[in-house]
Amino acid sequence: MPVYRSALLRFADDGTALYDQDGLLAVGPDAEGRQRVLAAGAWQSLAPQFAGEPVVHLPGRILAPGFVDLHIHFPQTDVIGSPADGLLPWLENYTFPHESRFVDPGYSAQVAEFFVAELLRNGVTTALAFATSHPASVDALFAEAQRQQMRLITGKVLQDRHSPDGVRDDTVQSLIDTEALIRRWHGVDRLGYAITPRFAPTSTPEQLRGAGELAARYPDVWIQSHVAENLDEIRWARELFPASRSYLAVYDDFGLMRERAVYAHCIHFNDDDRALMRDTGATAAVSPTSNLFLGSGFFDYAGADRVGFGYGLASDVGGGTSFSPFKTMMAAYYVGREGQTKQGLSLSPQQLWWQHTAGAARALGLEGVVGNLQPGCEADFLVLNPAATPLLARKTQQARNLEELLFALIVLGDDRVVEQTVISQAKYGSRA
């Protein structure tokens, strides 16, 4: 059983960052052979319990929880950086044509291999991901995540109207395919299924109704979609569903708001929408690099906290511009400063880091399972090098407290900081 000695970052239940300059992390297998955290805290107080165990000493490094990406599109890996005049032209001109290629299982498998490797290389150990409307794309991504023992949730995109040939699916078949994929993959190893209507404008009421029925029949399956990202999109959704109180309420009207439902963006909300998120237990995937790149707007952090619904951070690749959680946290900070309410919110680095780890895990209903290094958590963790670049080395050396250290990493960090990603599985755990 390896015992690690290093600086150690984790989070208390209330979201406070806990940091031990000289920390101990002990991991060991549970009954299924999955590595879990046995103990985490100050070396001095915990070391006697582990006397005689082999110690992996990592001076100058920081052990931190693996990041959780709450919303990412695996088939948009190669769509990153496609400029467009807002969301709808971007979908039509770049995204839909590219996603049509994933009908080919071989192509899907090749991109899935790169995608999972890129997540792990960037320190993301749990992701809620969109596939495409082709079941082959879902099989490819699950198979690759299973091979890497990664915790991954994905689903077949539902889009039976207002979508071009090549990505548009058939209403009845799409629901049959969804249920077959749930039965094939949900709960297998570390994999989970998400019922995935792309967004209300590309689904008929019949498809949304069928998705809602599946969500009721499989209550521990996730739901993911997009909402209130862009003003043209909102106008369109309101025209298509005039009977619903708001764009968000469309999803509620079809039984698609509940715990384990994660909606990307949630930018243009009023307080009724915020209360609906809170009361149903649905959560938001805040996607700041995407929102800045596509010019969609700013997530209203103050509004979300005032009304009290859950959220966490997401890359939204390929509307988003980076796989790196450091880039996403940096963009979230800009959004806090410049956001809709013009309150000049200064999100603390501890708060930003929490939103991409333990907070995102909570938004997924996986609090205490991933995104943290408290005892009992699955031992997905990162070995970070705070001196990965000359400038980082200078800056982190001068940090006088945790806030300054984490800010330096967020502002100057990227994939170079992630020296090693350790997955909660014996094969990988023993390698670190």
Q: Which residues of the chain form contacts with ligand GUN (CB under 6 A)?
A: 73, 87, 91, 95, 198-199, 226, 229, 290, 316, 319
Strand-pairing partners, residue 68, are: 126
* Cα(175)–Cα(169) distance, integer angstroms: 10
Closest to ligand GUN by CB, 199 vs 269, is 199
316 binds Zn ion (CB under 5 A): yes
Least separation in angstroms between residue 367's CB and ligand GUN is 26
Q: Which residue is nearest to ligand GUN (CB)?
A: 319
- Two tokens at 8? 């150690």
Least separation in angstroms between residue 95's CB and ligand GUN is 5
38 binds Zn ion (CB under 5 A): no
Closest to ligand GUN by CB, 50 vs 293, is 293
CB 66 within 8 Å of CB 100: no
**Residue 148 CB: number of other CB atoms within 10 A?**
18
CB 75 within 8 Å of CB 57: no
Residue 87 interacts, among Zn ion, ligand GUN, none and using kind-specific CB cut-offs from 5 to 8 Å, with ligand GUN
CB 9 within 8 Å of CB 41: no
Least separation in angstroms between residue 99's CB and Zn ion is 12
Residue 95 interacts, among ligand GUN, Zn ion, none and using kind-specific CB cut-offs from 5 to 8 Å, with ligand GUN
What residues between 250 and 309 interact with Zn ion by CB under 5 A?
Answer: 264
Residue 268 interacts, among ligand GUN, Zn ion, none and using kind-specific CB cut-offs from 5 to 8 Å, with none
Helix (H, G, I), strand (E, B) or coil at 71: strand
* Cα(364)–Cα(341) distance, integer angstroms: 27
CB 63 within 8 Å of CB 8: yes
Closest to ligand GUN by CB, 22 vs 232, is 232
Least separation in angstroms between residue 236's CB and ligand GUN is 11
Closest to ligand GUN by CB, 297 vs 359, is 297
Least separation in angstroms between residue 427's CB and ligand GUN is 34
Tell me whether residue 85 is exposed, middle or buried, using C-beta atoms within 10 angstroms of its C-beta: 0 to 12, 13 to 18, 19 or more.
Answer: exposed
Q: Which of 199, 194, 197, 196 is nearest to 220 (CA)?
A: 194
* Cα(164)–Cα(206) distance, integer angstroms: 19
Closest to ligand GUN by CB, 122 vs 196, is 196
Task: Tell me the backbone φ, ψ of residue 270, rounded to 5 degrees.
Answer: -105, 180
Closest to ligand GUN by CB, 92 vs 206, is 92
* Cα(226)–Cα(228) distance, integer angstroms: 7
Least separation in angstroms between residue 292's CB and ligand GUN is 12
Give the residues lining the site for Zn ion (CB under 5 A).
264, 316
